[in-house]
Structure formats: structure tokens, C-alpha cells
Structure 1
């Protein structure tokens, strides 16, 4: 079973800045605003600052007039871009314990490092507060580019990243409006695929365990919608905050059982949760999948080793990092890809737990 050839857009949450924050007054002019005033793309403004000889004279002069009129050239980030000296690329991961994020970042670094770039890694821990602090820290680091294992929801963070005037790569979701470049997957399709797989196996009373925000919520919504179309009864939904390990899956599965009611199967929208649920089910004497089927998302080595094995929706996380690195190298060499937005395919790995 695979997802549709054309991925469904994720309706990613967009959180506006609080009153008094993110206003234009008193903040540096964004490269996007310079581009809009000059009637060009932001990458063209960046190219004029870094390699003016590669831009035709008429366009270059028009951009330089806007820069002079607005004072954008006095922006320290614009100067950093113009010098083109930074070889640091920052990668922010949502959770350093995630095998999938680790594979992506290692592949990302392996693509960039032979070309002379150094990759620094930070962890946001699915925290808006940490995300804000880390994005603000980029002002001091002045990296060549930044990559996230996720997409940015806060408007003020989206604006702050755009103001840096550097390439930004978002991953792990498929929104209509990425900040810049995107290598993602449709979480909506993943949830729908889970519902179809459970329906194909004959399950009718199902449950969901996953993060109550971010990508978990997107998978939940896709699961809900497809379950309704297929006539499945979503008996319970268990929302989880920060996911740190298998203990969270065990706790969520315990909460699910405590709610009572007959359940045929559960979709866990994260494989740490799914593996923890599978372990907890066994500890309670439940036979999977006879008593209760468990379907995961993401795939990890532990899930492949435990009995009966975890059926899971998977994708090539290493490919996300590699493609992100390739897109970035193309952008930094001023030969940007014709496809700055890519989607990786979803697939199902059957191991007997459904």
C-alpha cells in the first residue's frame, strides 16, 4: 500500500504574532520586502549581494536602488551574505532520540561536508519557546543556511527566518506555503493510509495515539477523515505532549485502556509511541494482533526486533536529508533547483501487528 502519487497538502497550523510583536516598525527590512519592491525573487536579491556579476545590469541596478533607498545594505546579515564567508549550516531537530531525524541529519551532513560546510545540530524538543530562542541565536551565528526537521508554525519565527536572508529548508510536512525550500511528506496522507490499512484488515472500532499538536495533529486529522469515509468508529483519541521515549507509549496505551470500551486496533502516529504500546500490551497479557492490532508510523530498529513486530507506515528519512543537502548546495552555488519543493513517498512495512 502506498500514498497517492500527488501528495495531499498539510493544513499546517499558522500562529500569528501577539499584539505588538512582529510589526514592521523598528525591525530590519526583510529580504522579501526588498525583492517585492524591486519586482524580483528573494534569491535574486541574495545573488546581487553575493555575486553581483551574475545578475544582468538592469536588474542589478534596480535592486541596488531599492537597497540604497531602504538602507537594507546596512543590515549585518546582508553584509554576511555579501561576503559569502560562512561555511556553517545549522540543523534543528525536534528530538535527538528519533532514529528518523538522526538518519536525516547524518545524510544531510554527509552531503554538505565534502563541499566544505560544517553542520551544527540543535534540538527544539517540540517547544515553541526553544524554537524562538534558537532562531534568535542565528543572528549571532550568521550561518550559511538552516534546516529544520519540521515546519515553522509561529508567524514571528517565519518572519525572523525570512529576515536573515539565508536559505531555509523545512521538512517532515507538506504545507502549501513553506518559508523557502521544502523536502516533506504528507502527514494527512499518512493518517489516511493508516485508516485504510486497518479497514482492509477488518477492524472497525479503532483508536488514535499521537501528539496533540504539530505533525501528530495532521496525522490524526487525516486518520479521522479517512475513518469516517470508510465507516470506522474512532472510539478514543489519546493526545501526547513531548515524546521522550518508549515510556510515553506505554503511558498513552495505559490511558487508552483505562478509558474502556472495545477497541479492535490503534494507530500510533509515532513509532516510539507504537513500540511502547506494543510492549505495554504484551506486559498486560494481550496478544497482538489477535486481541488488539497496533499500527505505527516512522519505523525504527526496536520495532523490527520485538515480537510480533510492528506494522508501520514508513518513508526514506535519509533521503530527506540527502535531498535537502542537494537543494542547499544548488542554492549556495547560485544554481537553484527547478524543484525547490519535494515530497518523499510513504509506504507500509508489514510485520504482523495488524
Structure 2
């Protein structure tokens, strides 16, 4: 396996489309700890403890330290429901991912949730399934849910939804694209550059005619545009373009594989703009008796354990999705604490992991 250098060019902004119960355990149950207990141990008033938790900048460092030590000694945990009644906001961060089957999304939300949960926030996950209708329904309910912050594996394209999120006046984290105008916070990748890297890799391998498989909208369209632009620059012809309405799991890649050869074209190389599609195409090609890469070269976007464990493995455009989630978690946490962020946008570099499929 060889790893190409990270982006050798300045990242390209993505031209994102804008459209109008109780649990039981074996531990001995401890008596509840109240804010008065913390105040008594710290030698301050209960209101000072409350202020130190909610707005620490209004409490001296010396008192903050005493209160922190008292909280650790007593095991006190602020009641999130009571806090929500007082402040109109819960300690819950909502994370919405595009597809539960994507290992990349799972790694990102895990990285983000670990950072936030260490600081007392709860991270809850929902799925949008790339649906504008579902996304709009979720966003319209956020005012009633009163989350502390919201995380998306994607960027919000509908202007009405963007405006509703701004009105919440809470940290909004978008990811997985690199637009010029994020709503609030962004840890992104350039899908446009990802497509360019795929085309450049196939050009370096000597392929002159290639195919593309991916979603027709959203990130799929951005990846195709970068791929098409670099193919034209490199003298490569895209002889087949297959747009998928949705991508749920690797079976979608298996299904679309048969469309590659439906018109008699002997496709020699294909860029799959999604790791699930690439894995499905790989498995279907192998089942059909094709040799990889001699008969069909495959390059994907995103990485998963199956893609790396298959022999000879799938070449892919990769970035560190768990690190993306960790960066997002730290930025959300800083924003929740009222800290000034020097940068509200962070870019995640892309690279090519070359395996036997190309």
C-alpha cells in the first residue's frame, strides 16, 4: 500500500448548491448530591456554584478551583432538566448523519461525541438519509428540542433550513464539504478536490477512458465536477456516467455494477464517489469473474474496513474522519464555553491510498 502526499494544491471551495428509563447496575446506590453540598464544601454560596458552572468568567479563578475540587469530591452532577428549565437549553448535542451504514460517518460522530461527553454533554444521533424532506422536519423540531448544539455530516443546502438554524443561536457544526459560507462552524473537505485527485490518479496509471458512479446531487455532484474537470485537463474521456438516486449500503454498488456494461462499453476504470458504492462494485466485479485491476480498475471515495481487507484492496480518496469528528467536538465545546475561536472553519486534507484495485 502506498500513500500519496496530502493535497499538493490549495483547497478548492465547494460550489455547494443553495436552495430556497432508568438503568440498574451493581454499584451501591449513593445518596443524591445537591448544589448546597458543593457550596458548603467550597465555602461559597449556592448561587456562586451555579454561576461558576454556567458562566465561569463571572467567578474568580480561586473560587472556580475550590468549586471544581468540591464537585469532584462530591460527585455532583448538575441536573440537566432543571438547567434546561432555567436556561431554556439542555446539555444534549444532536448529531445527524447522512447514512448509518457509513463507517466514515460513524468514526466522525464517535470522535465528536467522546470530546463532548468528557465535558458532561450527551450526544444523540439521528439519520437524514440524504433527504431534504427529513432534514427539514428535523430542523423545524429543533426549537422544541432545545439542544445545546447540532452536528451534521454534511452541509445544509436549503436556505430556509439555514436561516432556521441561525435563529437557534447555538453552535451549528457542518462537515464533509468546503463551502465559502458555512452557517456557523465547519470542519470540511473539498469534494471538488477529491474528484480531481481520483482523475489525476487514473491519469497517472495511463487510463484514457473511464466511468463515474455516484449520487447525482449534493457531494456526489461536487465530486463529479472535480473529476470531470481534471479528466478534461488530463485528456481522459468519461464514457459512462451513472447517477444513483440514493446510496444505502454496498448492495447499491452491486446493482449499479451491471449498468457499467449494459451498452456494450468495455469499461476499464471507474471512479465510485462513495465507499459503499466502490465496495459493492468491487464485489460484483469479482463475482462476475473480472480480474481487478487487469479487467476493471476501481477507485473509491472514503475508506472502510472491508475495502482495506479485500484482496487486492480498493484504492481510495481518504481523509481522517475520526480526526474530523474530534476537531468538530473541540470547536463545538469551545463555542459552548463562550471561548473566542480564532478560526471557525477547519480544512481536512485528502490523500490517495493506493491498493491493488488500480
TM-score of the pair, normalised by structure 1: 0.81
Q: CA deviation at 1:350?
A: 1.3
User: Deviation digits for residues 270-318 of structure 1, max 9, x if unmatched?
Assistant: 0110010011111111101001100011010111122221011110000
Describe how 1:87-236 pairs up with structure 2 within 5 A.
Answer: 87-236=91-240
Alpha-carbon RMSD across the aligned residues, in angstroms, is: 1.8
For residues 199 and 277 of structure 1, the distance between their equivalents in structure 2, rounded to whole angstroms, comes to: 21
8 Å Cα contact 1:209-1:268 kept in structure 2: yes
For residues 207 and 247 of structure 2, the distance between their equivalents in structure 1, rounded to whole angstroms, comes to: 27
Aligned residue for 1:297? 301
Task: Say whether residues 1:339 and 2:329 are aligned partners.
Answer: no
Q: CA deviation at 1:264?
A: 2.1
Q: Which has the larger radius of gyration?
A: 2
Aligned residue for 1:329? 333
8 Å Cα contact 1:97-1:245 kept in structure 2: yes
User: Residue 118 of structure 2 aligns to a residue in which SS?
Assistant: helix
User: Deviation digits for residues 210-244 of structure 1, max 9, x if unmatched?
Assistant: 01110011000000000000000000110012211
Aligned residue for 1:309? 313
Task: Say whether residues 1:282 and 2:289 are aligned partners.
Answer: no
- Unpaired segments ≥5 residues, structure 1: 17-49, 55-78
User: Deviation digits for residues 39-84 of structure 1, max 9, x if unmatched?
Assistant: xxxxxxxxxxx86987xxxxxxxxxxxxxxxxxxxxxxxx979927
- Unpaired segments ≥5 residues, structure 2: 21-53, 59-82
- Count of residue pairs brought into register by the alignment: 297
User: Residue 240 of structure 2 aligns to a residue in which SS?
Assistant: strand
User: Residue 150 of structure 1 aligns to a residue in which SS?
Assistant: coil
Describe how 1:14-93 pairs up with structure 2 within 5 A.
Answer: 14-16=18-20, 83=87, 85-93=89-97
Structure-2 change in CA distance of 1:261 and 1:89 (3 Å): same
Structure-2 change in CA distance of 1:141 and 1:85 (3 Å): closer
For residues 183 and 336 of structure 2, the distance between their equivalents in structure 1, rounded to whole angstroms, comes to: 17
Task: Say whether residues 1:353 and 2:349 are aligned partners.
Answer: no
8 Å Cα contact 2:260-2:267 kept in structure 1: no
Residue 250 (structure 2) aligned to one of 246, 250, 255: 246
Structure-2 change in CA distance of 1:192 and 1:82 (3 Å): farther
Q: CA deviation at 1:6?
A: 2.4
User: Deviation digits for residues 117-150 of structure 1, max 9, x if unmatched?
Assistant: 0011000000000000111111111001101000
Residue 319 (structure 1) aligned to one of 323, 331, 343: 323
For residues 277 and 341 of structure 1, the distance between their equivalents in structure 2, rounded to whole angstroms, comes to: 34
